Structure 1
Amino acid sequence: MLVTKQLVLQRFWYPVVPIAQLLNGPQSFELLGQKIVLWLDASGKPAAVRDRCCHRSAQLSKGKVVNGNIVCPYHGWKFDSNGACVHVPQAENSPISTSYKVSAYHCAERYGYAWVCLADPLKDIPEIPEVADPQYRLIHEFYEPWHCAGLRVMENEFDTAHPTFVHTETFGSEEHPVPDSMEFSETEWELHFRSVLGVVNPSLQKQNLKMAQDKTVRTMHMTWFMPFTAKLRIAYPNGLVHIIVNTTTPINDSTSQIVQFCVRNDTEQDTKGEDIIAFDRKVTLEDKAILETTDFDVPLDINQEQHMLTDKPGIIMRRKLAALLKKHGEVEQIRR
């Protein structure tokens, strides 16, 4: 599936830029192959429009923000958050034509990021209720591009067979090449997966978990939010809950922006945030090394690749995405 060719994927929300970056001025981003620019308007809310002035096509992201409007660096035209031109310096006393506008996109702040939807949204931004729970803390982990498909990352998050072979330096256990249990349930827009997996505890993880054992058990409740957001709720025997939220924002067909944060029911005094990030980062770099070797054109037709029992979550994802395309009158676009 080539994500830039499937128009229905423009109808979902994706985190694109940390809000903190917008404090420094306009930021450019490529979302599903489209160049957009983001900035903070006069009320401090994020805004997103096409990164191309309607006058002579200069990049608006090279300009500046004045009174909440973005100013083109070429001739100084100003545009508001709706994409309408509100000032033309060369025509101070003339009315501005309504044709002087650029495409504007849905934009909202959530979880410390500016989220964008390029067309009318089919669903709201995924809900992570623990972020608002005072018993939990939010830790931003990393934000970077990976050269792989978002669907590959989503399948990997739900793949309980790979840790033995990929996560050899972190938590993978040779004694547990498959999980002890797997349970599935679906809604129209989500996949819920419950699993129990035996893992090992290297020294840093022992410190993070406040556990002395060399081995432990992860009880995982994972939620896939169509199309490219995963929530992994990992519960440990000592009561600690470590929630990882990962969104693979599609830059283009071959590259995804990986946005990951975690939510935990402990405090900085219990475990330093930098130690939590260090361990999770080591895990994700192990994933990245493998995922960037995979084909970005992930076939939704399950007959195009071979499968095993632990691939069931990925098979469900592919079938649900294929059904989504069919419902909206689209066919899977692939490389030829």
Structure 2
Amino acid sequence: MSKPVAPVQEQAAEPKAKSSEPTAKLAASWYIALRASTLGKKPVELKLFGQPLVAWRDQAGRPVIMERHCAHLGASLADGKVVDGCIQCPFHQFRYDNTGKCVHIPGNGTSVPPLLQIPAAAQQTTYVTAERYGYIWIWYGSRAPMFPLPEFPYAESEKSSYRLLTFARTAKTTALRVLENVFDPQHAVSLHSMPAVSIVLNVHDDWREWPEHGAEALAQADAWFGASYDAHIDSYLGSVGALASKLGLDAREMRVRLSYFPGGGVITMIINGEIIFRMLTSITPIDVHETEWHTTFAFKKTAKIWSDAVNFVVFGLQTKATFLQDIAIFSTLKADGGRFFTRYDEGVLKFRAFYTKWVHKTTLDHLNRRSAEPASAFARS
């Protein structure tokens, strides 16, 4: 059952602000570590969760992410290389397998054999990873993932039937401030100049209202947050919108479905009753106040080539332009700002409550080495 949140045009009451909102805390979730295409045969230096990490591929091509500095004397493994399916330190050529265990310590000179009794402390902290939809994902918050990734077949099994548009931008703000932005309908008018007659945000309790994108599995883990926009607009995107109108693509009735997990979600754009695109969105939490925002648009190919092209430009590239406006705001706002809220902020506040549950589920048990402990703002509250 959906619960309507105040339409934009109504006068709003003002909920009380909560000073304890965890805008600088990180929820247990899947996050994007990097694009899969950027990780080849050589190790790649990363910074995630405020920590120096390294990514590499094992002998089977599976992605591995571990703490960057060698447990021996601290050399950067990002400067090493992959040998026999293990990452080799550039300093003393110690090798670590895909579980982080040191499996080879060379001898001292040609007459001294490799060390057979490897110290138990010769271990690198590793993270759970998954490679899907063109990204390498990393699990943060516990030893094992507590819920699956959403389903986005348009960038995987159904990829040949879709045209994809992927981009990313970095903002100087916290993970939550980027994630919650989509649940703020008012800024679509005030910042992006959407010519809306009305916008209503509904928060949905029942995943069965749209069971696609793996919503059931997420809901079973209490990791699903659903919402939708219903908007009536006069026109769309100025002169480009006029071209769309001539081709029968004018946007008058718009619905946006939001199927989210703590670290991102799938957005479905519906114009005049027709699905225009789906979008996978997530983030890379680089540091407390540095977050990379990723999006992959999927436009279904049809026999109408010109129509497909206009959809791609109007609803893809123009939406990308609005994201750049958001990034500019993110990079200068006060991350923990918000001494008061209005009724228009109900969507943001409800998502914050959902997100906070997953902040509290963060145990960080998998970060059992002092060198890999997260920055204090990313720690459990």
Name the TM-score class by shorter chain: 0.7 to 0.9
Q: Identify which range, 132-141 or 237-246, moves more after superposition.
A: 132-141
Task: Kindly indicate whether residue 124 of structure 2 is the aligned counterpart of residue 102 of structure 1.
Answer: yes
Conserved? CA contact 2:277–2:300, under 8 Å:
yes
CA distance, structure 1, for counterparts of residue 49 and residue 180 of structure 2: 20
Q: Secondary structure at the match of 2:255?
A: strand
Gaps of 5+ in 2: 1-20, 207-218, 365-375
User: Which of 84, 87, 93 pairs up with 1:67?
Assistant: 84
Aligned to 1:266: 301
TM-score, structure 2 length as denominator? 0.73
Q: Does the Cα contact within 8 Å between 1:138 and 1:261 map onto a contact in 2?
A: no
Asked whether the equivalents of residues 58 and 72 of structure 1 are also in contact (C-alpha less than 8 Å), the reply is yes
Give the Cα–Cα distance (whole angstroms) in 2 for the partners of residues 2 and 138 of structure 1.
Answer: 37
SS of the equivalent of 2:334 reads coil
1:151 aligns with 2:176: yes
The answer for the alignment partner of 1:224 in structure 2 is 260
Instruction: Please say if residues 32 and 135 of structure 2, whose CA atoms lie closer than 8 Å, have aligned partners that are also in contact.
Output: yes
Return the offset for 1:102: 0.9
Aligned to 2:211: none
**Matches of residues 26-37 of structure 1 in structure 2 within 5 Å?**
26-37=43-54
The number of residues matched between the two structures is 319
348, 353, 362: which one pairs with 1:319?
353
Matched-pair identity in %:
23
TM-aligned CA deviation for residue 324 of structure 1? 3.9
Conserved? CA contact 2:24–2:336, under 8 Å: no
**d(CA) in 2 for partners of 1:325, 1:214:** 41
2:24 and 2:176 in contact (8 A); partners too: no
Contact 1:29 1:37 in 2 (8 A): yes
Query: Is 1:185 matched with 2:205?
Result: yes
Report which structure shows greater RCO (CA 8 Å, sep ≥6): 2
Whether the 8 Å CA contact 1:136–1:263 is kept in 2: the answer is no
- The aligned amino acid for 2:148 is D
> Relative to 1, partners in 2 of residues 1:24 and 1:272: Cα closer, same or farther, differing over 3 Å?
farther
* TM-score normalised by length of structure 1: 0.82
Segment drifting more, 107-116 vs 202-211? 202-211
Which residue does 1:123 correspond to in 2? 147
Q: Secondary structure at the match of 2:53?
A: strand
1:141 aligns with 2:166: yes
Structure 1 residues without counterparts, runs of 5 or longer = 299-303
Paired with 1:25 and 1:274, the residues of 2 have a C-alpha distance of 35
Give the number of the structure whose alpha-carbon radius of gyration is greater. Answer: 2
Aligned to 2:31: 14
Tell me whether 1:46 sits opposite 2:84 in the alignment.
Answer: no
Deviation at 1:240, TM superposition (A): 3.7
Helix, strand or coil for the counterpart of 1:13? strand
Q: Distance in 2 between matches of 1:61 and 1:250?
A: 19
1:195 — aligned with what? 229
Q: Is 1:233 matched with 2:271?
A: no
Q: Distance in 2 between matches of 1:153 and 1:24?
A: 32
